[in-house]
A and B are shown apart, each in its own frame.
Chain A
């Protein structure tokens, strides 16, 4: 009798273990794993006081991105930012800095979206002084040096105030296109 029990006990144990691992795998993978709704949007890593710099081939900084808190999500490879702070440097030594309450970085890192009290300050270090843009939404495409918004925008500079419905800024060519009913106020010259 002992011989039979000694023979069957390990096999039974192995079978139980196999069944357990199958059950575990089944439990983790929901039946319709393909639909996003049921996939778990869970942060796989969280970084506090995050800071990153992108440089050109010569090692010169092209843009920097920092945030109080960063959460990366495994399922879609995107990143959520808290209090992001982005700065782009142009060839003439000017800077464009963007700050907001929240930020989002696409999976390939080629698009950054800023939302909530977005403040963009463009400083060309010239006599006219910095230009400050405020809006609620801003989409930044660093590679194309483009910054876009389809929300109401206010532009404040020295002796100038502009209201517009949408904006497109090219930080390399330094051209700012404002559209959807523009109102500009120039202070008088004394």
Chain B
């Protein structure tokens, strides 16, 4: 959700090494990062801080998985990849290597997927490390976009069926 960006970031792990010189914290072991509705599970997360605090995080896992609620819809987006890069300020998430994104019934695979939770815009690229696509062809992007059920709008006016055209001059009785 858009509001996630203004929420605190909570991280749990077995251990963390804080390097104050480079402002980098390395979390290891069953790492869980939560920010608002977004949850990210990884084996290792490297957090970069700046003077204001949490800036960005790089997650490594086998695979890394994330889940986030979509804005205004009771639906979640899920993603899996070998590596993920999360920018806390921009609210963007990049999935690298065997990237797989599921939005409701939609299913996207590629070697790289970038997803912006503010605009809900995502971009998928093929490459060697593409998640096993259904067609099994490597290096290609695979996307399954489910048709959206037609929204039950106002009843369309009944159309009067046209009389069938006479063929060879013979008038057909309807």
Interface residues of A (CB under 8 A from B): 92, 122, 124, 127-128, 131, 155, 158-160, 162, 164, 173-190
Nearest neighbor of A155 in chain B, beta-carbon distance: B18
Using A128-B49, A178-B18 as known contacts, say yes or no to A186 and B9 having CB atoms under 8 A apart.
yes
A186 CA / B34 CA spacing, docked (Å): 10
18 residue pairs of the A-B complex, CB under 8 angstroms, read: A124-B20, A128-B23, A159-B52, A162-B16, A175-B17, A176-B17, A177-B15, A177-B16, A178-B16, A182-B16, A182-B27, A184-B10, A184-B13, A186-B47, A186-B49, A186-B53, A188-B7, A189-B88
Task: Note all chain A residues with C-beta closer than 8 A to B5.
Answer: 188
Nearest neighbor of A179 in chain B, beta-carbon distance: B15
A188 CA / B36 CA spacing, docked (Å): 11
Task: Note all chain B residues with C-beta closer than 8 A to A180.
Answer: 14-15
B77 at the interface (CB under 8 A from A): no
A190 CA / B15 CA spacing, docked (Å): 28
- The answer to whether B20 and A122 touch across the interface, beta carbons within 8 angstroms, is yes
> Given B7, B54, B89, which contacts A159 in the complex, CB threshold below 8 Å?
B54
- The answer to whether A182 and B15 touch across the interface, beta carbons within 8 angstroms, is yes
A122 CA / B21 CA spacing, docked (Å): 12
- The answer to whether A176 and B20 touch across the interface, beta carbons within 8 angstroms, is yes
Task: Note all chain A residues with C-beta closer than 8 A to B11.
Answer: 182-184, 186
A46 CA / B22 CA spacing, docked (Å): 44
Task: Note all chain A residues with C-beta closer than 8 A to B15.
Answer: 164, 177-180, 182
Using A182-B27, A187-B53 as known contacts, say yes or no to A131 and B13 having CB atoms under 8 A apart.
no
Measured CB to CB, the closest approach of chain A to B59, in angstroms, equals 14
Measured CB to CB, the closest approach of chain B to A181, in angstroms, equals 7
A160 CA / B47 CA spacing, docked (Å): 12
A128 CA / B18 CA spacing, docked (Å): 13
B6 at the interface (CB under 8 A from A): yes
A118 CA / B8 CA spacing, docked (Å): 28
- The answer to whether A188 and B17 touch across the interface, beta carbons within 8 angstroms, is no
A131 CA / B5 CA spacing, docked (Å): 25
A39 CA / B136 CA spacing, docked (Å): 80
Using A159-B54, A178-B15 as known contacts, say yes or no to A187 and B8 having CB atoms under 8 A apart.
yes
Nearest neighbor of B9 in chain A, beta-carbon distance: A186
B73 at the interface (CB under 8 A from A): no
- The answer to whether B16 and A188 touch across the interface, beta carbons within 8 angstroms, is no
B51 at the interface (CB under 8 A from A): yes
- Which residues of B20-58 have CB atoms within 8 Å of chain A's CB atoms? 20-21, 23, 25, 27, 47, 49, 51-54
A159 CA / B13 CA spacing, docked (Å): 19
Task: Note all chain A residues with C-beta closer than 8 A to B25.
Answer: 184
- The answer to whether A188 and B10 touch across the interface, beta carbons within 8 angstroms, is no
- The answer to whether B54 and A189 touch across the interface, beta carbons within 8 angstroms, is yes
B19 at the interface (CB under 8 A from A): yes
- The answer to whether B12 and A182 touch across the interface, beta carbons within 8 angstroms, is yes
Task: Note all chain A residues with C-beta closer than 8 A to B8.
Answer: 185-188
- The answer to whether B53 and A189 touch across the interface, beta carbons within 8 angstroms, is yes
